[in-house]
Amino acid sequence: MKCVIMAGGRYGDPEQYRRWLQRAELVVAADAGADFAWRIGVRPQAVVGDMDSVAPHVLETMERQGVEIVRHPAEKDCTDTQLALALAEERGAREIVVMGWEGDRLDHVLSNLFSGVAPLHRGVEMTYAAPGLTVYLIAADRELEGTLGDLVSVVALSEAAVGVSLEGFQYPLEDATLRYSYPFAVSNRLLRSPARIGLRQGVLAVFHYLSPAG
């Protein structure tokens, strides 16, 4: 099952998100993510969180429309996005796209990215969509499609990412080890599409900055 999680961070042009939403079999809003869903006319199947930042009229209207409201106390051990991830997995999601995951709070940005590692290890495909940027979490080889010249960075989210190979990039790698304490594989460029990212062990975040036509 494909799931879109709408978190409460920054969004851009709604059209950037249509392709993800059109493919989704389940849409879960994490607290204020319901506000953006409301603005673009998307009705999620569920809204989850402590409800401290979603607009009251949005929450009330969605509840009247039959949207499931899953309330949690403000004092909790999980972020709203983590609660949404857990709900998505409970409902059977095997592919999750997180929107609204980045914004002014760097701690939230890092938390949102690292929160995808555990689902990834359980076999869930994890993607993060933002204005002009798509981030893929990978634990194995992956092909990357895009426009020639697109900016791509790969960063280890595990202590070490072993056997990293980059083929079809301006700066290739072969059987390299990347560590989160020394993130040197940034600001690369696509030379062909699809390019190939090889990974034998560990977790990588692949930051793909989209060209205007991408």
Domain residue extents for the chain:
2-131, 142-209
The three-class DSSP label of residue 177 is strand
pLDDT digits (tens, 9 = 90+) for 121-134: 999 999 999 989 99
pLDDT digits (tens, 9 = 90+) for 163-210: 999 999 999 999 999 999 999 999 999 999 999 999 999 999 999 998
* Beta strand ranges found along 45-194 (DSSP E): 46-49, 68-71, 95-99, 125-130, 133-138, 142-144, 151-156, 160-167, 173-179, 188-189
**pLDDT band of 214, cuts 50, 70, 90:** very low
Domain 2-131: CATH class, spelled out: alpha beta
From residue 124, how far is each of 25, 50, 70 by CA, in Å? Answer: 15, 25, 22
- Mean pLDDT for all residues in the chain: 94
User: Which amino acid is located at 195 in the chain?
Assistant: A
**pLDDT band of 211, cuts 50, 70, 90:** confident
At 18, give phi and psi (nearest 5°): -60, -40
In the numeric block, which tokens belong to residue 69?
A: 């409201």
pLDDT digits (tens, 9 = 90+) for 106-164: 999 999 999 999 999 999 999 999 989 999 999 999 999 999 999 999 999 999 999 99
Positive or negative CA dihedral for 37, 39, 42, 48?
positive
At 74, give phi and psi (nearest 5°): -65, -35
**For the chain, percent of residues with pLDDT exceeding 70:** 99
pLDDT computed for residue 128 by the predictor: 97
Q: Which CATH superfamily is domain 142-209 in?
A: Thiamin pyrophosphokinase, thiamin-binding domain (2.60.120.320)
In the numeric block, which tokens belong to residue 184?
A: 């040197």
The three-class DSSP label of residue 123 is coil
